[in-house]
Amino acid sequence: MPQKSTFLRGRRIIPNPIGKNVGVGDLVETYFQAYNAGRLSEACRLFVTSMLKNDVTVGMSIAGALTPAGLGGSCVVPMMEAGFIDWIVSTGANLYHDSHFAIGLSLHQGSPFVDDKLLKRESVIRIYDVVFDYNVLVSTDEFYRRLFAGPEFQKVMSTSEFHYKIGKYLLERESVLNLSHSSILATGFKYKIPIYTSSPGDSAIGMNAAEAALYGGKCGFDVIADVNETSAIVLEAKRKGGKSGVLILGGGSPKNFLLQTEPQIQEVLKIDEKGHDYFIQFTDARPDTGGLSGATPSEAVSWGKIDPSKLSDTVVSYVDSTIAMPIFASYALWKRKPRRHKRLYFKREELLRHLARAAARARKRSSRRTDVPPHIH
């Protein structure tokens, strides 16, 4: 009998009839067998079997209007609470819209097929099929305006510190309102999870900080500190004998900011490193248009973003994050017990010192290699 091809060693596809009330675990493990359902299943299994080991530091990036659809409180927060997410890069817009829920405001399911001129006349804002009253924006702006007038915001700071301070007040507001759900920023404050925004001026939070600056406010963003802090987090994970994993929702600037930590370590700081160890992305972007949102893990290898020996531990599922995340989060919470929180926010200064020492050693080695012998002119 001829030897079976190595290409036929995958699990056999079995078209079992689906039953009533099938759980998420059965969907993922039994019925998601091919195409992007297969990739979603692979992502779920990679996350729970490898990325959630205690020695892995997991970074998450969030792009696209996910929090207006409720995914902040429903999916991201439970994963943060379970210790599955150690640091985050998000668009400012996602954090701003997540704040609506934290201060007791409401968003509603609507239709994408409405007359937007009529919505404008009735002061209704639309994000595809999510709708809300214009006053939701006004009330949230007022909340932030009052915060930014406070003494603790009269300084230039990293966005992790900025978001940590906001999270404190959002957590207090949720407690006063007795809300059963929490926001990303409030949860970040509670569990000391650093949260960054790669483009802090590109959202209503940044717009309100800019308004405060017009009237003499001193609140500002140190984006250079963000670059160093995030790189320090990744380097520390690797130097302590652990690994670094990235979970990417959508793409855009947060994806790049999450991944650029490795080129910053290797290319700029000259520290000997190999790239992130695990990569999971949910996206609907194509790779052939040249946009970063669709760029593959294989392409990321060429930049030093992904360890080339770890490509087998990367998964891209071309599926809407609003479909993938409830399944992904539910599966992870069902399959794995909570991890101990790394509380990286409180370790930032220590990690920066470690990064600076490693960079100084690398610079010294690099300068020795590039010194021109004295007899050559």
Residue numbers annotated as active site: 305
CA dist., res. 11 & res. 31, Å (int):
12
Query: Under a CB-based contact definition with an 8 Å cutoff, are residues 221 and 191 in contact?
Result: no
Q: Which residues contact 217 (CB under 8 A, 6 or more apart)?
A: 148, 149, 153, 154, 209
Place of tokens 């994963």: 79
**Joined tokens for residue 330:** 């539910």
The structure tokens 């596809």 sit at 13
Q: How many CB atoms lie within 10 A of CB 16?
A: 9
- For 189-208, give one letter per residue: b (16+ CB within 10 A) or e: bbbbbbbbbbbbeebbbbeb
Q: Are 129 and 159 in contact (CB under 8 A)?
A: no
Give percent helix, percent strand, percent coil of the chain, each to the nearest 5: 55, 10, 35
Beta pairing class for 108-109 and 130-133? antiparallel
Q: What is the crossing angle of helices 35-46 and 321-335, to 10°?
A: 40
CA-wise closest residue to 128 among 140, 141, 110, 143? 110
CA distance 70 to 273: 38
